[in-house]
Chains A and B, each alone.
Chain A
Amino acid sequence: MAQIEKKAGLLRRTSSSKKPLKEKVVLMYDEIFAKEDPTKNNPRFWDELFLMKVNLEYLEGKLESLDGDEVMKIKDNINSLFHHCVQALGEEHQIKVVNALQTLCALFRGVHQKNKSATGFDIINMLMGFDKAELRMKELMESLDSLLCGDGSESLKSLCLKLLLCLVTVTDNISQNTILEYVMINSIFEAILRILSDVSSRAQHGYDAVVLLALLVNYRKYESVNPYIVKLSIVDDEPTLDGMGMVIHHALTEYNRQYKDKEEENQGGFFSTLSSMRNFTECLWFTCESQSHPEIEMATTPATPVPASPTTPLGTTPPSLDMMNNPELPLDPNLQTSNLLITFLKYSSIVMQDTKDEHRLNSARLCLIILTCIAEDQYADAFLHDDNMNFRVNLHRMPMRHRKKAADKSIPSRPLVCAVLDLMVEFIITHMMKEFPMDLYVRCVQIIHKLICYQKKCRIRMHYTWRELWSALINLLKFLLSNETILLAKHNIFQLALQVVNLFNMFITYGDTFLPTPSSYDELYYEIIRMHQVFENLYCMVLRVSTNAGQWKEPASKVTHALVNVRAIINHFNPKIESYAAVNHISQLSEDQVLEVVRSNYDTLTLKLQDGLDQFERYSEQPREAGFFKELVRSISLNVRKNVSLSTMSQDVLLKEFSSIS
């Protein structure tokens, strides 16, 4: 308490008010916290209060210092403070509106801070009173709506959004925030969209608006029908969707830029010595973490609505939002070579580089989930595969000892699907480590599978260097084999192995529908034959496991069946190659020679057609990903809360100017 008063004193001094020791507003707060009705002595009490500059810290501190029971005692006063705050929002005097907004912020936060354990109903009761709650909240939301939609001051709008953010994030778990029930009933969805669709307001408040929307769609989305999800899923207004895309695009670009700056900065210091290579990456991330943590968070937060919204509780998947990731329009002609998807891919490539810490692992997972949604959506696919839309995407590649960094500056511009595949290949080859990110790998292979299914279906022949993908996949199998014991302890590696083998089966049996040239089909065989040892070892392993009874018997035997064609190829061609070598007296056959043998021996090879290669399970958020998203939303909530409190305080400075103007 003493501390608070001291603060009040300090504030007084800075604001150079003369008379009493305590600010007048602080005195007035004290009056509210007395049990008496403050209007008793001063009928114009409320009018005066909102003319006073808010002392947020004091008010919040005061509220926090009271426990539940004490608050209940002054409930009437708090209720009427809340009531008058809401009323003041309708005032013409903008100073009053500003003060009311800030007071509300403090009220929400203060009450929650102290009563974390209290049920939502208790809090509502404390703030508004049960009987009046519905009416009050309706009034509040309506005033906010009109403030947001009106053409008033921009800082006022910003403050409205801050208040809403503050309200949404008062609890760690958004679904436990019962007050939001009123926000659901009295939707401000249209107001948010309005902000996003308008160019100038988007620039100023776009970020807050998107974060707010992202949080709101996550309110009890698994348990009940969240109107924001429903509304979001049917938005079809192009400028608005573009606007949303722009905001995300901007945040991601900002993140990418900062990463790049950091990278370049650090290059001078550390890059010169080889020994510091490993340190370099770590250091890089450390600096990133410490210095630009809010930005990282910034970048991840807005990305959430993308996977969050396609999954309505019903499991039906209105995908209108993942289109955000797929703006058919490269949004800003001044950023010509970039669009949201490109930026997103770049961002993903950065995030995926190091998945060691939890935070970034989650970000990488989120990226992969988003890509999964994209790969499933045929419109997004059509965009990815559009031959007329070629882009040059510079993915960030992890510096590794055995390859040169940024060796390929001159990647040709290609349809975006190539960049997606590149990213997947990059992920596959860079994450074979002890802490094996199994679920990320599964997602990654699924994404590739879905893209190939689309290509097969639509007979699109991408001129992609499939060979890189094949060799990456084979290396993955190799890794699984060599770390079998360690990995089996934690993961079902057979599931992943099956997926990989089935990808090969896709190429083997359906290659005619999507491979670009006949020779690429030959190359596939060449690659399989070249790496036949891996497949043979895999077969031995799965055969061994499937013959032993145990939990892996079933999944392992599936892999043995899936391997039938690969083994047929190996068994068919290997003798032919050997005899060719013998006949021609060559010990080591060149690639061309092997291809020659392959080409001339197709006809005697019979393959078995496998079922359901081109089918996949559609992504659904519930129940599999629900836990992940809950955690994600929680961390975002925490982060937003932290940032909002900061910015609200700095808002004071801004408001000082504001008050002097009006």
Chain B
Amino acid sequence: MGDTELELSPAQLEELQKSPSASSTSTTSSLSLPSSPSSGPRPLTSSSPSTSEGLPTSSPPLDVISEGVGELSLVIDTEVAKKACQEVLQKVKFLKADGEVSSASSEPVLVNGTAHPLSTDGGKPPKISEEEAEPVKNVRRRQKNNSSKQSWLLRLFESKLFDISMGISYLYNSKEPGVQAYIGNRLFSFRNEEVDFYLPQLLNMYIHMDEDVGDAIKPYVVHRCRQSINFSLQCAWLLGAYSSDMHISTQRHSRGTKLRKLILSDELKPSSQRIRREVPQPPPSCPPPLHHGQGMSEHSLSPSKRTHQRSKSDATISISLSSNLKRTASNPKVETSQDEELSSSSDSLELEAGTPVRLTPQREFIKSLMGIGKRLATLPTKEQKTQRLISELSLLNHKLPARVWLPTAAFDHHVVRVPHTQAVVLNSKDKAPYLIYVEVLECENFETSSVPVRIPETQIRSTRSVENLPNCGISPDQRASSFSTVPNYDNDDEAWSVDDIGELQVELPEIHTNSCDNISQFSVDSITSQESKEPIFIAAGDIRRRLSEQLAHTPTTFKRDPEDPSAVALKEPWQEKVRRIREGSPYGHLPNWRLLSVIVKCGDDLRQELLAYQVLKQLQIIWEQERVPLWIKPYKILVISSDSGMIEPVVNAVSIHQVKKQSQLSLLDYFRQEHGNYNTEEFLTAQRNFVQSCAGYCLICYLLQVKDRHNGNILLDSEGHIIHIDFGFILSSSPRNLGFETSAFKLTSEFVDVMGGLDGDMFNYYKMLMLQGLIAARKHMEKVVQIVEIMQQGSQLPCFHGSSTIRNLKERFHMNLTEEQLQVLVEQMVDGSMRSITTKLYDGFQYLTNGIM
């Protein structure tokens, strides 16, 4: 079995090497025939997946399995590969499949191709040697001149030190197509998450750099797109966003646009479909692949049938979603009938490849969220926006659950419900960003796990009526318990259980058992009074006292302000909110229920935010690695197009502006109100958190030249950390070029007060942290600069305005200074910022223009 494979792959190699001249035409061919990346133009890349990838191959297929990203059919594919390499032929069922597969090795599928060589050499060391041999040969063949240099480079590439960051760097800097192609192949060997971090860089290079780089990157991207819907969409969105700066005429024909179209056309399906479509392609000289292809497709179709249908019907539902949204309600009957129709016809549909349903539900979901944002923007007042938002979301709810998910989340899930009453419109002058909470059910894999069944909102009610509906998935006791086990919080207004209303009626003794202790104080009294007929007397003073005490004990909430609806929503502790929404949700009883939140931005370009996120994340990793206890919170960004996207909200945090406006206290007094007096454990912890985060963000602000630092853009979380948001003005751009904010970062006297004053230990600690952080960042400057530098390619973003952006960025790391000099520098910056009246001036300016305190 292994032999046949080996026979075939060199043959293939030869064939490919024979026609290197075909490379010019190949771009198009590879586009139209995405299924066969190895038939691609460049001999190096095309051959390497099957030959030179000994080391890498072990990881990608395994990854696929462990993550379960692939579709079912794909899993089978990789499983077969795995079996081949490990010679595990236990299951009869697979034996059969394997027999067929063995003949399929000629089939130029990437995964298979890369996997098969493994089977020849079992252990790892031989793998490396073989891998070494092949690419070197290839590389040498192309670049005979600098072969010596190449080998040094190769040794670096093969060393353990070589990580994705270096890979990206070489991919960007190297002018050698061979090196680029090699790295393109090496991408397969990195873990998906590692590469995902650099996805914006990869795609930007793909769009804006020369053909060689693009060709090196493409196979990897295509491969990943086949594996994952999520990855496909991310790519499509990013490609769209980063192509938008090109001239409109060039944009249309650019590589990026083409790849985007290809992804969105949903051609890039997992193997089963791919093989089928490929069937006519292999020359008639090799019938086995054809035979195998059919076998495979049949084989994979039957187990995955259900999922396919499922996703298809999902898609149609959401297709109708957008159209139905305009009307007012939907008719589920219509939908189900559609379902049935489709399920009957879907088999035939499926065989004709190319109905773009794989990506559709999610795209429609995102589209309707964006549509809401656009419509909100037309309304004049915040109040109207809020109401409109709520009603729009309630309609969206009709279409859920569906095979849709929030791309900002860290785990696989399906969205089941949007608790529409919880959504809030955020503060913004002319756009209408809004925050929604989303109930999801965690699942193994959102592509293959079945979509949860809809539980109607009204189901809770029905438990009250005598005629109970056929099982709603929750038995009444289950629900009762879920209601009653909720810890009863003092000023809790949700603690009633389903039948609580009964207690309001005459069966008084019930109150004893059910209602929570301190509410019932009176009720108990009233019972006893009823029983004993002895009048109970209470002091009016007690009532009054209780009233004021209870109000005092309520955790400080913000007062509702129709002009600032988000303040209240954001102030509520996240855990509280989760509990509250969970109780109100028909899905809340399910163990895999989770609450997520997301900010939907429409009309805003989030590409800079994404860049900032990447830099922050990179610095966070660096500081962690170097054990500098700086605290920053990069929040996830999803770029959907050049003017829309989503942001992962920072939970348990409100802006300093809101803090000050609502509490009417200085920051220090607010800290004392929230965390207790000086010297209490809580206050000290909060203070330390404040200092660590402040130092972190001061460095960020300095390095990235983050501007527009007013109190509305700085959040304070419940643990005392500050978190900077809104990286709209970074690097070379500053708001309206007013020349404000000349200081290195924002450090107001209020901040210093919280740190315990200029002479306090914590202030020294703050400066020390800054120094350590700067030293650590300097050590890894390249990693940071490279992120920015690659994104500058072809970009019109204001942060890259001018020619010296990167040079200035590098200069801010002060590579030439000694540590002592750096210390002086930090001192100077802190002093400068302290004395800076521009910061104060800017705050005043913001207050006058935007009403931000």
* Residue ranges of A at the interface with B (Cβ–Cβ < 8 Å): 194, 197-199, 230, 233-234, 236-239, 241-243, 246, 316, 318-320, 323, 328-333, 336-337, 339, 376-379, 385-392, 412-413, 453-454, 457-461, 508-513, 515, 517-518, 521-522, 569, 602-616, 618
Contact = CB atoms under 8 A, between A and B. Distances in A.
A458 B551 contact: no
Contacts, number: 209
Contacts of A388: 390, 421-422, 569
A197 B421 contact: no
Contacts of B525: 609
B329 A233 contact: no
Interface string B451-495: 000001111111011110100000000000000000000011111
Contacts of B331: 197-199, 239
Contacts of B465: 233-234, 316, 318-320
Contact of A243 (B329, B458, B462, B526): B329
Nearest to B507: A615
A561 B551 CA distance: 32
A316 B543 CA distance: 37
A241 B495 CA distance: 28
B391 A328 contact: no
Contact of A457 (B421, B500, B536): B500
A602 B329 contact: no
A509 B466 contact: no
A323 B461 CA distance: 9
A16 B552 CA distance: 86
Contacts of A612: 506, 508, 526, 530
Interface stretch (B53-61, B380-388, B752-760): B380-388
B710 to A, nearest CB: 28
B227 to A, nearest CB: 37
A376 B501 contact: yes
Contacts of A239: 329-332, 398
B539 interface: yes
B18 interface: no
Interface string B526-567: 100110000111111101101110110000000010100000
Contacts of B543: 508-509, 511-512, 521, 607
Contacts of B495: 458
Contacts of B384: 336-337
A328 to B, nearest CB: 6
Question: B interface, by DSSP: helix, strand, loop or mixed?
Answer: helix
A511 to B, nearest CB: 6
B394 A616 contact: no
9 contacts: A238-B329, A246-B329, A336-B387, A390-B387, A453-B504, A512-B543, A518-B551, A606-B537, A608-B537
Nearest to A391: B387
A236 B496 contact: no
Given A457-B503, A609-B535, A332 B493 contact: no
B505 interface: yes
B327 A318 contact: no
Given A198-B334, A458-B496, 6 more contacts: A197-B331, A379-B460, A508-B543, A509-B538, A512-B550, A518-B544
A316 B467 CA distance: 11
Contacts of B286: none
B547 A511 contact: yes
B93 interface: no
Contacts of A457: 496, 500, 503-504, 515
A238 B331 CA distance: 9
Contacts of B562: 390, 412-413
A379 B461 contact: yes
Contacts of A515: 547
B376 to A, nearest CB: 10
A336 B526 contact: no
A42 B229 CA distance: 72
Contacts of A378: 496, 500-501
B462 A320 contact: yes
B439 interface: no
B329 A199 contact: yes
A319 B383 contact: no
B224 to A, nearest CB: 38
B496 A608 contact: no
A605 B539 contact: yes
A241 B458 contact: yes
Nearest to A609: B536
Given A230-B467, A607-B537, A616-B504, A336 B519 contact: no
B5 interface: no
Contacts of A613: 526
Contacts of A517: 547, 551
A126 B457 CA distance: 49
A319 B383 CA distance: 32
Contacts of A606: 537-540
